[in-house]
Structures are given as structure tokens and as C-alpha cells.
Amino acid sequence: MGDVRQSNRASERAQSSVLGYVLLVGLVIAVIGTTVAIGSIAYADSTADAEYANVENAMSQFSSKASLVALGESDGKQFSLGSIDKGSVSVKESAGTIRIYQVESDSNLSDEDPVVEESLGSIVYDTGTRELAYQNGGVWSHDGTNSSMVSPPEYYYRGSTLTLPLVAVNGSDSTSGSITGEFTRIESGTELDGLPANPLTNGSVYIEIESRYYEGWSQFLSERTEGTTTRCQSADSADICQRSESVITELSVPTTLEIESGLTISRNSEYDGSSSSSSDIEMPSKSTLPDSRPLIREQIQSAQATNDNGDACNIDTNPNEIGDCTLSNGTYYFDTDVRIADTVSMNTTDGNISVVVNGSVVLGGDQSVIDDSNSTVTYYVRDDLVFDTNNIEISTTNEATESHRQVFIIGDDIDLQNNGQFGTVHAVLFAPNADVTLSGGGNSALRGSLIVNDLSIDGGGSVTIKQDETTFRASPIDATASPNRIRYLHVTKNVVRVELQ
């Protein structure tokens, strides 16, 4: 019996050794197989990443060559994209469209046809999961879901001038392997018909780019240019959107108000000159008045950040009142209502003065420009200009009337608290949102310009509103906030043929 048990145990040990060997060999084979598989995937991914990086560098280089050819500095240029094993390169001349609209102030983008509509085309390296594309001088990437900018396109915004050379791609080749090619100029610097004449005078200019790479275009337009940019994933992404996969940027034409008379009121509003009043008022002109509030908001933002409050009038220590002091050239900011309690002298010998008020200005004292320079004092008042007494004097110390040297840009109303009378005002009052009622009698005389939404004259007595034509300089008021401006638009069409080899 003992021999039998020993024999069984020996047999079991022999079987365990064989089974362990088999399991070990199987595990080793599985590990090796997994390692080879993972290594193969990693190698393939590494190879694909290297190829993608090489093509990205090559595209950034050949974009400059394409621009040289398109913009007329060279008749043709050869290029190389290297060896393409993980994808293909194709020329798509109908990919992407740019549209330019000119929209008047009283119109909507949806009501207008584009003054320019041109295909851009593209040269695309496509791996099936990722893309790199040349389009209008820029290089763009697409990860299958979103796009981004690799290098910027031909689009130059400087000051208030937009220079936009359109670089259209012509061709239809598609290939892989070791890729070389050539750019050949077909058309360069062609002026497009239908563009508005420079300088632009009204409304807004919209640039719409419809492209598979619209998110990258949006990145460029938002970060590197001026303009209000809207990304349109679909046609109803925003009110301004016209179609899917597009981006729209808006540039505003600065609105200037030419002051041609003593009195201007807005179109479709009323002027009621009482027949019982002996008013000395010229027949007012009517026009579409630009809104003052965007400009005032911009001035507030700027003056909050940088101002000269510490230099005069103890503005920092007494921010709600100015009295019996002198302001010199610079910008002064008030973050709330401010009262002028006594005579404030404005010395513009060394330059202009700006007074920016994030609230109302209450006039309880006189204001006078005390020098004979040509510089001006401009008040940007978010809310109301309040005349707290009827004998206010706003003027210059020179004998001649120089009303153009004091300009009040008012966001809301002109508040005459003393029976509709103000005093002697030698200034330009630009309050396009104000409804004003004046009363005759007293000391009311405005020698300059009053620009309002609505004006009424009540009661008897004399109200004088007129310019002194011999001394008044009709300096236009720029009533547009400075960002997103466009005065000059230069668009040219340039076409290059792309042949892949």
C-alpha cells in the first residue's frame, strides 16, 4: 500500500511540473504577443505622428511660397511635402467661400446680398482621422471634430484699414507617396467689382467665411484682429448667422456727425416752436443721429484704467464734487454723479481735456476755458446733464464765442430744473436720446449747437439757439466707439494653380 501511494504522489508531481511548464510557456507567448501588438500600434502611431508633424512643417513653409506666387512676387514656386504613407493630399478648389457684405445703419445683414462672394479652395492632407489644410494663406488643422489655426491667413487689419488679399486655389489633383508640386500664378491683384468706395461712410462691413475650418478662422479673427466675431455652427446659432460651419466678423464704419446748424433733432421726432415765444432759433435740420452711449461706455472703460485724477482738483479725495479749481490737459474720471459747485477753469494750453463721468453731471457753478489755444474740453456723461440753476455760464475767456471748444456728449437726458431755462452756454450739446423742453424768459442763450431727439419751446420770452458763424469751427463729432472700426477696405483676387506630382 505504501508503494502505491508513493507512486501516485510521484505521478501527480510529474503532471504538475508539465502543467506548470505549459502554463509558463503560454504566459510568455501571450506576453510576447501582447507586447508585439502594443509595440506595433505604438510604432504605427509614432510613425503617423511623425508624418503629420512633417507635413505640418512643410505646409507652413509652402504657404509662404504660395503667397509669393499669388501676390505677384514670383511666377511660380516648387514645393515638397515629403513622403506620405499614412494619408493622401488633394486639391479642392471649391472648398470654402468668403462673402463680404456692406450693410447700411438702418438695414439688417439678412436683407443684403454680398458685394463679394468668392471660392477659396484648399489643399488638404487627410489621414482619415486628422487633416491639415492650406486655405487663403493660412494653415488649419482638423481632428475630426473641431478645427484650429496652425499659421495665420492673408488678412491684415491695421488701424481702421482692412487689407484682404483673397488667395484662391485652382486644381483637382489627389495623390500620396513622395509628394512634390508646383504653384503657378493665374491671376494677381485683381480689383473686385461691387466694393464700396473708400473712405467708407456708413453702416458696417461683415466678413463671412464658410469653411470646414471655421473654428480655426474664428480663433484667428477673435484673437488677432478687431471686430465682433460670431461662430456659426448652424444657421440658427445666432441672429447674425446665415449658414452652418461659418464665422462672421463685423467692422463698424465710424459715424461722424457734421454740425451744420445751431439745432439738430432726430429724424421722425418733433420740433414744437411755440408761436407765443420770441425764440431766435433757426429752422432745425433733421437727421439720423448716432447713439452716444457706445462711445461713452468705451471712454468709461478706458478712463477707469488710466486717468489723471491725482493731478488736480483733489478728485481722488473728493470724487463727488469739483469746485474753485483748475484742470489742465488730461483725462479725469468720476465713478458716480459729480456736482460742479463753483467755477472750474479749464486750461488746455498743453492739450485737450476729457472729463468722463459714470453717472450724471450737475451744474451748480460756471465752467470756463481760460486759454486761447485750439484745444478742446470734451465731457462724456453716461446719464444726465443737469442744470441746477438758470444762470449757469459755460464759455471761454476769449472775447469771441468759441463754442466748438466745449463739447458735451450725453448718454441720456438734459435736465433743466429751473422752468426750462439754463443760462449762457457756449458749447456743443450732443444728446441724441434727450427730449428737451425750453422756456422763454430769463437768461437762456445757447451759442453753439443743441443736438437732441425731441425739442419743444414753451411760454413767452426769448430763447436763443444759434451759432456764431464767424468763429464756429464745424468740427465733426466722432460718435463711434473705437474698437471694430473700418474706414478703408482693400480686397483683391489672386488665383494660383496647384499641380501635385
pLDDT tens digit sequence for 134-174: 999 999 999 989 999 999 999 998 878 999 999 999 988 88
Determine the pLDDT at residue 458: 75
Q: Look at residue 259 and tell me whether its pLDDT is greater than 60.
A: yes
Say what the pLDDT of residue 25 is.
54
37-41, 197-201, 456-460: range with highest mean pLDDT: 197-201
The pLDDT assigned to 463 comes to: 79
User: For residue range 351-401, what is the model confidence (pLDDT) as tens digits?
Assistant: 999 999 999 999 988 888 999 888 999 999 999 999 887 788 898 888 788
Name the band, by pLDDT with cuts 50, 70 and 90, for residue 106: low
The predicted pLDDT at position 72 comes to: 80
In terms of Cβ atoms closer than 10 Å to its own Cβ (0-12, 13-18, 19+), residue 159 is exposed
Q: Give the integer Cα–Cα distance in Å for 343 and 369.
A: 11
SS3 assignment, position 99:
strand
Once rounded to an integer, what is the mean pLDDT over residues 106-123? 89
Contacts of 466 (CB under 8 A, 6+ apart): 262, 280, 281, 282, 446, 447
* Greatest pairwise CA separation for the chain in angstroms: 144
CA proximity to 376, closest of 352, 410, 345: 352
Tell me the C-alpha to C-alpha distance, in Å, between residue 16 and each of 2, 29, 30, 128.
Answer: 21, 20, 21, 52
pLDDT at 354: 94
In the chain, the N- to C-terminal Cα span, in Å, equals 88
Distance CA 241, CA 119 (A): 19
What is the pLDDT confidence band of residue 203, given thresholds at 50, 70 and 90? Answer: confident
The pTM is what? 0.64
Residues with Cβ within 8 Å of residue 374, at least 6 apart in sequence? 405
For 333-360, give one letter per residue: b (16+ CB within 10 A) or e: bbeebbbbbeebbbbbeeebbbbbbbbb
Whether the ω angle into residue 199 lies within 30 degrees of 0, i.e. cis, is: yes
Mean pLDDT confidence for 228-257: 89
Using only C-alpha atoms, the chain has a radius of gyration, in whole angstroms, of 36
In this predicted structure, the answer to whether residue 28 has a pLDDT above a threshold of 60 is no
pLDDT in tens, 318-352: 678 787 888 999 999 999 999 888 888 899 999 99
Q: Which of 407, 423, 430 is nearest to 348 (CA)?
A: 407
**pLDDT given for residue 207 in this prediction:** 95
Q: How many Cα atoms sit within 13 Å of 140 on the Cβ side?
A: 28
In the chain, % of residues over pLDDT 90: 34
- What average pLDDT does this structure show over 98-113? 86
Here the cell at position 39 is 509595440
Local structure of residue 291 (DSSP, 8 states): P
Residue at grid coordinates 512633417: 54
Instruction: Report d(CA 153, CA 136) in Å as an integer.
Output: 6
Task: Assign 6 a pLDDT band (cuts: 50, 70, 90).
Answer: very low
pLDDT at 22: 53
Residue identified by cell 433743466 is 416
Distance CA 224, CA 110 (A): 26
Angle among Cα 433, 435, 438 to the nearest 5 degrees reads: 140
Residue 478, number of CB atoms within 10 A of its CB: 15
Cβ atoms of 457 and 274 closer than 8 Å: yes
CA distance 338 to 367: 14
When the pLDDT of each residue in the chain is averaged and rounded to a whole number, the result is 83
Q: Are 56 and 172 in contact (CB under 8 A)?
A: no
pLDDT at residue 40, rounded to an integer: 46
All cell numbers assigned to 223: 484673437
Q: How far is CA 326 from CA 247, 303, 399, 443, 500, in A?
A: 50, 19, 20, 26, 73
Contact 313, 336 (CB under 8 A): no
CA angle 206, 245, 131 (to 5 degrees): 120
